């Protein structure tokens, strides 16, 4: 790698590290949606058990820098201002709103996501709830600063694969913002008490569904500590937590069957609707409908004929090991005793 490229990487690393300087690690608006136990690991200073690459977060920071530069170059700060530091007397940490329009009373929060997550949020009609919750706390702070509650929250969602942008807006709800702030303040007090009394992070509940189940666990720096694998794969980490609790196992089995029935019904509804859309193209209300093409046929190896030909010619048939399908729980109603 050239010296210039190395210098650039070092410069970016120093800059990204500097963005974290002075941040206490205590709860703030970005803690919305965070797992209680992961916060406890942070408060207790527990060393991370899992490495999480920072590249995606760094890309988000660079996008924020570009947005901030655009706002700074286009507006007087008395009208519209980027990177506004906000605080709440109830919370131990400040937050930073990406963009505040003081005249139109609009708070903008910039979020980025990969193509699949971006499209999922677009299709469901809005971003994740914790995105709105973070913005609601900004709305409360701005309402307090201006003695006015008529603020609008706007989330600009950027597709990191295509650059597409979509905006979502809703009226700020200061009452909800206050409820969120108070809930975080309550967590802060409990976590500080745990630290002072030499408690344990394990005293706090796991609020994710464990490894392999998405947010928040698969992004957590303590996931393998929080969800260990004590049986070497005989039980899943999740199953290991309830294996001695028959009632919890029964509840999980009931959930499995309930959601399986909902899944079957949802799939039926999906394919029923698909039948009414086959061949239709256009924009209808908020939906764009298009059609994929039929796959083209192709010549493929006739494995049985090839095997017979090799055997007839006295040539050993090449083989390779193919793992079998992984086992999975099979849940049925138990027979009455």
* Residue 255 pLDDT greater than 50, yes or no: yes
Q: What is the pLDDT of residue 13?
A: 62
In a domain, 232, yes or no: yes
Instruction: Look at the chain and report how many structural domains it folds into.
Output: 3
Q: Which of 16-20, 162-166, 214-218, 290-294 bottoms out in mean pLDDT, i.e. has the lowest? A: 16-20
Taking the CB of residue 82, how many other CB atoms lie within 10 A of it?
A: 23
DSSP 337: -
Domain end call among 254, 278, 302: 278
- Identify the bridge partners of residue 155 per DSSP, sorted by sequence position: 109, 168
Q: Mean pLDDT, to the nearest integer, of 151-173?
A: 92
Residue whose pair of structure tokens reads 């957590």 in the numeric block: 220
In a domain, 298, yes or no: no
Shared domain for 188 and 43, answered yes or no, is yes
Shared domain for 159 and 135, answered yes or no, is yes
Residue 1 banded pLDDT, cuts 50, 70, 90: very low
* Residue 247 pLDDT greater than 80, yes or no: yes
What dihedral do alpha carbons 178, 181, 187, 188 form, nearest 10°? -130
Copy the structure tokens of residue 306: 């090839």
Shared domain for 93 and 153, answered yes or no, is yes
Average pLDDT, the chain: 88
Copy the structure tokens of residue 316: 């050993």
In this predicted model, what pLDDT tens digit does every residue of 263-299 receive, in sequence order?
A: 999 999 999 999 999 999 999 988 888 998 888 888 9
Shared domain for 224 and 263, answered yes or no, is no
In a domain, 102, yes or no: yes
Shared domain for 91 and 212, answered yes or no, is no
Shared domain for 250 and 139, answered yes or no, is no
Shared domain for 247 and 233, answered yes or no, is no
Copy the structure tokens of residue 166: 């979509």
Shared domain for 235 and 247, answered yes or no, is no
Looking from the CA of 165 toward its CB, the CA atoms found within 13 Å total 9
SS3 label, residue 96: strand
Range of the domain at 250: 242-278
Q: Residue 288: enclosing H or E segment and its boundaries?
A: strand 287-289
**Whole-model pTM over 0.85:** no
Shared domain for 83 and 213, answered yes or no, is no
- CATH number of the domain within which 143 lies: 3.90.320.10
Q: What is the pLDDT of residue 55?
A: 73
Burial of 149 (0-12, 13-18, 19+ CB in 10 A): middle
In a domain, 296, yes or no: no
In a domain, 110, yes or no: yes
């Amino acid at each position: 790698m050239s010296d210039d490229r190395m210098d650039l990487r070092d410069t970016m690393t120093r800059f990204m590290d500097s963005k974290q300087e002075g941040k206490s690690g205590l709860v703030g608006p970005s803690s919305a949606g965070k797992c209680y136990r992961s916060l406890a690991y942070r408060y207790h200073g527990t060393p991370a058990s899992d490495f999480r690459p920072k590249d995606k977060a760094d890309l988000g920071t660079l996008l924020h820098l570009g947005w901030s530069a655009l706002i700074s170059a286009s507006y007087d700060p008395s009208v519209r201002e980027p990177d506004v530091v906000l605080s709440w007397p109830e919370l131990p940490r400040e937050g930073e709103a990406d963009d505040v329009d003081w005249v139109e009373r609009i708070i903008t929060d910039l979020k980025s996501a990969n193509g699949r997550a971006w499209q999922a949020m677009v299709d469901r009609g809005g971003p994740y709830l914790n995105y709105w919750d973070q913005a609601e706390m900004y709305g409360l702070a701005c309402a307090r600063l201006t003695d006015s509650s008529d603020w609008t929250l706007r989330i600009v969602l950027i597709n990191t694969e295509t650059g597409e942008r979509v905006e979502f807006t809703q009226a700020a709800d200061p009452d909800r913002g206050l409820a969120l702030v108070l809930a975080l303040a309550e967590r802060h007090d409990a976590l500080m008490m745990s630290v002072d009394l030499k408690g344990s992070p394990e005293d706090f509940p796991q609020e994710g569904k464990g490894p392999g189940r998405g947010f928040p666990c698969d992004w957590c720096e303590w996931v393998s500590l929080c969800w260990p694998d004590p049986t070497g794969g005989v039980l899943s980490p999740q199953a290991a937590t309830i294996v001695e609790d028959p009632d919890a196992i029964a509840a999980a089995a009931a959930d499995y069957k309930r959601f399986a029935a909902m899944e079957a019904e949802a799939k039926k509804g999906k394919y029923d609707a698909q039948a009414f859309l086959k061949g239709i193209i256009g924009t209808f209300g908020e939906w764009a409908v298009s059609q994929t093409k039929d796959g083209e046929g192709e010549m493929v190896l006739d494995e049985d004929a090839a095997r017979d030909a090799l055997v007839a010619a006295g040539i050993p048939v090449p083989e390779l090991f193919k793992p079998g399908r992984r086992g999975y729980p099979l849940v049925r109603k138990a027979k009455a005793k």
